[in-house]
Amino acid sequence: MNVFEALRQGNGSINETNVTGFLSYLLDTPSDIRKSFVVLFLESIKGMMEFLEIPSKSHKERVEYFFINYDLNIQPEYRIKIENLDKKQNKTVVPDILIEIRTKNDRVKCYVIVENKIKKESVKENQLVEQYEAFQKIEDYESKAPIFSLLLTINHKSFEKMYKKIIEVNNKSTWMFWTANNDDGEVSIEKIIKEILTLDINMEIHPINDIIKYLLKSFVLFLKTLEDISVSNGERENCNCTDIVEFAEIKILEPHDSEIFNKNIYIKRTKKGSILLCGKDGKTFSTNVRKELRNIIKFKNLDNIEIYDKKGVEKTTRVLGKEIIKELNNVF
């Protein structure tokens, strides 16, 4: 069972605040993996390790060096009030996480402002710039300490405009993904967690207890569904893009409550592995992709495809979509 998927069933939901909360937990809660996660997370921020003068040694030595020299202060949902010049109306900006890195003599070395986005419709073009500029005006800001801005999102191009805005005013800015493509060098939370699990297997860190391992693996599997949530809730996209690697055409005649019922649809897989359900007009259907894939398996009697993997974990939309495309092209 995946606890994150279970919490989303029925009337439950997991939103940006919940996901940010788990990230704060990994950064701030004493556990078997906290120190490793902190260092790997900071290493993924452009220019951070050079600024902190962390030596390029083994993971264990980098972790020891960081925690001998620095402390971390994590503040989720850090509220910053902006006073308008006319004093008639004030505005509050709320970065998802404020990280203070302090020296052992309690001097602020630098700040990290983290903004998390798990839905592509939540793009706010100037949000990071507002946070960056507002933070420099607060009373406790130590002006000699640089600010690193971190945009943490699902792997979608719609957030590029946010990153372009912040990099114009703060060159210490990084765009990180929750999940990354299999064949690229992009940094992501998924890759950080997988690296920690690998370090555990190779006995390069203290053994991770089974409960923490379960949470980490469940979280990675959940992260892979974030893009699917966004696609089903977002605007309709153009399916006629050039990065489609395979597709299958199908029509479901059996009546059921769905936008794709009794229509010719195309199931398409992109280079990044995303699964799109498209109409003849070249637009995606605004529907729950994984639910419709289950309907296709049911109504087209694709008995060779299992909903769950060998470990009893429900397959992701990407896995189901790829298997369905292959099966449909073999059968029909």
Pick from 158, 261, 192: nearest CA to 23: 192
> How much of the chain exceeds pLDDT 90, in percent?
45
d(CA 128, CA 126): 6
Going by pLDDT thresholds of 50, 70 and 90, the confidence category of residue 10 is very low
**What confidence score (pLDDT) does residue 242 get?**
56
pLDDT digits (tens, 9 = 90+) for 238-253: 566 557 888 888 877 6
Strands (E), the chain: 70-76, 80-83, 90-93, 97-103, 108-117, 147-153, 173-177, 244-251, 264-270, 275-278
- Under the banding of pLDDT at 50, 70 and 90, the label for residue 160 is very high
On the question of pLDDT at 9 being above 70, the answer is no
Mean pLDDT of 262-279: 82
Give the residue-averaged pLDDT of 29-56: 92
Give the pTM: 0.69
Task: Inform me whether the pLDDT recorded for 49 exceeds 80.
Answer: yes
Residue 125, pLDDT > 60, answer: yes
Q: What is the pLDDT of residues 76-104, one digit of tens each?
A: 999 988 766 555 567 788 999 999 999 99
Per the model's pLDDT, the better-predicted residue between 6 and 191 turns out to be: 191
pLDDT-based confidence at residue 332 (cuts at 50, 70, 90) = very low
Q: Using 50, 70 and 90 to split pLDDT, how confident is the model at 182? A: low
pLDDT at 195 over 90: yes
